[in-house]
């Protein structure tokens, strides 16, 4: 997989590396987001030990760490292959000695595995770390169990206040995702992003020399396909509260993918209060709570959507066909999946437009600084009243007035003049405070026809080009 982007993350790691004294960093993010790949790329050329923790007895853990450290410390006073580490104190005392004059990096990946086998590990590490102050040792603690990694940083946690780097890795935005698919056209990149989201691992599996349907067959349409069961793996490995026998988060996510997008609908669909599961899945960036711009937060009036493209695609399009796939109906299933994609992609395309407007906000010639980019609809309606739904609205200034309204259609082409007429009516019927002469954005996959010169036209070439 090519290494692309992550410019901000590399800069943060470089600045952390250059600080004097010992430094502790915490890097975390969901599975497949590229934590290990980022650190391996950044650590090239540095004295670096990379250890992947497992839930195993201490002796086996230390033996594995000794084997990883042996080549790096080969010139030292100790042969770690014949005399492996015997305790965590031994590990850090040895590494501190090696880091006395020049920096040495120890990365411990999957730290939650260590905490499972030894819950007192964090407390012990705090005492050990206080002895490292006069060294040039750098310690990175990494993990995919997001809640566990964040609990390490809570105020009452043993390591609170010790970390001088806290880096949560996020999936790629649409523009960044496109960098991993250089041979595809912008509209085909958009389709790949619709399936894979911004997860580098999934994007790296997408073959940009094959058609969209061929990639669906490769990745999903056989019992051996790499991603056929990946959605189930995500649901089973994320550390959800209420997971266990209740399986509440999984039920919640399936309910949302099935069209239950309001709190009351979700409560009925899962047969329980979904508050905790909603909170947990939002913290993991799997679910997004959406409210109209300028409306105060109210979880019971909000809409909920699956924020992660891959999980949304898997739950909506792949999982219902798993039985047919295992029966060997791959070619038939792939055709059906492809035919369902356009309906699925509408919501994803709207989000791509909002992300694009946020990224390019400095180029929009706004009358005042932008304060929010989001959706709008009237949440309280009289009988027969138009909800005035708009896919993108940009608010500006202290008065949070609407300066831009936009529509996104996952269609090859869109009539710009017709779209602007509809947006103009909705904007003026919305009740939102407006700037003088608000602007309009029309977004289609490849082209927008009959657009007035003042209309901002956005296509896949702008978002993914």
Q: How many CB atoms lie within 10 A of CB 36?
A: 16
Task: Tell the CATH superfamily of the 7-168 domain.
Answer: P-loop containing nucleotide triphosphate hydrolases (3.40.50.300)
Residue 133: the pLDDT is: 86
- In this prediction, residues 100-124 reach a mean pLDDT of 92
- d(CA 353, CA 89) in angstroms, rounded, equals 52
Q: Where are the alpha helices (DSSP H) in 360-459?
A: 416-429
CB 281 within 8 A of CB 257: no
Pairing of strands 137-143, 23-28: parallel
Q: Which of 164, 172, 379, 350 is nearest to 292 (CA)?
A: 379
Q: Which of 153-157, 188-192, 221-225, 456-460 has the lowest mean pLDDT?
A: 153-157
The percentage of the chain sitting over the pLDDT mark of 90, rounded to a whole number, equals: 80
- d(CA 346, CA 350) in angstroms, rounded, equals 6
Q: Which fold has domain 216-347?
A: Arc Repressor Mutant, subunit A (1.10.10)
Tokens 């566990």 identify what position? 148
CB 421 within 8 A of CB 456: no
45-102 residue pLDDT tens: 999 999 999 999 999 999 999 999 999 998 777 899 999 999 999 999 999 999 998 9
The percentage of the chain sitting over the pLDDT mark of 70, rounded to a whole number, equals: 97
300-352 residue pLDDT tens: 779 999 999 999 999 999 999 999 999 989 889 999 999 999 999 999 999 99
pLDDT at 245 > cutoff 60:
no
Residue 293: the pLDDT is: 95
Mean pLDDT of all residues belonging to the chain: 93
pLDDT at 37 > cutoff 90:
yes
């Amino acid at each position: 997989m090519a290494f692309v982007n992550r410019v901000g993350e590399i800069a943060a790691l470089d600045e952390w590396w250059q600080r004097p004294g010992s430094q502790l960093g915490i890097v975390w993010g969901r599975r497949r987001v590229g934590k290990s790949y980022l650190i391996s790329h950044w650590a090239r050329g540095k004295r670096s030990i990379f250890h992947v923790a497992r839930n195993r007895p201490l002796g086996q853990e230390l033996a594995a760490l000794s084997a990883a450290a042996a080549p790096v410390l080969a010139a030292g006073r100790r042969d770690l292959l014949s005399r492996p580490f015997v305790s965590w104190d031994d590990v850090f005392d040895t590494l501190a000695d090696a880091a006395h004059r020049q920096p040495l990096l120890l990365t411990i990946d999957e730290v939650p595995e260590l905490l499972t086998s030894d819950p007192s590990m964090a407390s012990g590490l705090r005492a050990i770390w206080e002895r490292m102050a006069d060294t040039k040792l750098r310690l990175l603690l990494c993990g995919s169990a997001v809640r566990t990694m964040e609990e390490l940083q809570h105020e009452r946690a043993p390591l609170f206040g010790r970390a001088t780097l806290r880096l949560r890795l996020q999936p790629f935005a649409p523009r960044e995702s496109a960098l991993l698919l250089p041979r595809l056209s912008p509209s085909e990149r958009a389709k790949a992003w619709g399936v894979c989201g911004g997860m580098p691992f999934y994007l790296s599996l997408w073959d940009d020399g094959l058609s969209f349907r061929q990639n669906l067959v490769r990745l999903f349409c056989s019992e051996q396909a790499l991603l056929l069961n990946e959605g189930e793996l995500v649901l089973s490995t994320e550390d959800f509260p209420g997971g266990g026998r209740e399986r509440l988060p999984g039920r919640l996510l399936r309910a949302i993918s099935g069209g239950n997008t309001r709190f009351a609908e979700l409560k009925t669909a899962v047969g329980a209060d979904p508050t905790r599961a909603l909170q947990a899945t939002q913290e993991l960036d799997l679910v997004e709570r959406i409210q109209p711009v300028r409306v105060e937060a109210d979880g019971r009036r909000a809409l909920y959507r699956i924020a992660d493209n891959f999980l949304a695609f898997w739950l909506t399009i792949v999982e219902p066909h798993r039985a047919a796939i295992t029966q060997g109906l791959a070619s038939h299933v792939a055709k059906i999946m492809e035919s369902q994609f356009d309906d699925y992609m509408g919501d994803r395309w709207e989000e791509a437009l909002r992300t694009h407007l946020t990224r390019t906000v400095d180029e929009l010639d706004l009358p005042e600084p932008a304060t929010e980019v989001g959706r709008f609809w009237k949440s309280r309606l009289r009988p027969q009243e138009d909800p005035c739904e708009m896919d993108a609205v940009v608010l500006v200034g202290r008065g949070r007035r609407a300066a831009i309204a936009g529509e996104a259609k996952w269609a090859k082409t869109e009539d710009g003049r017709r779209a602007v007429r509809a947006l103009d009516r909705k904007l003026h019927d919305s009740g939102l405070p407006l700037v003088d002469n608000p602007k309009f954005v029309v977004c289609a996959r490849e082209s927008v026809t009959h657009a007035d010169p003042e209309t901002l036209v956005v296509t896949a070439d702008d978002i993914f080009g």
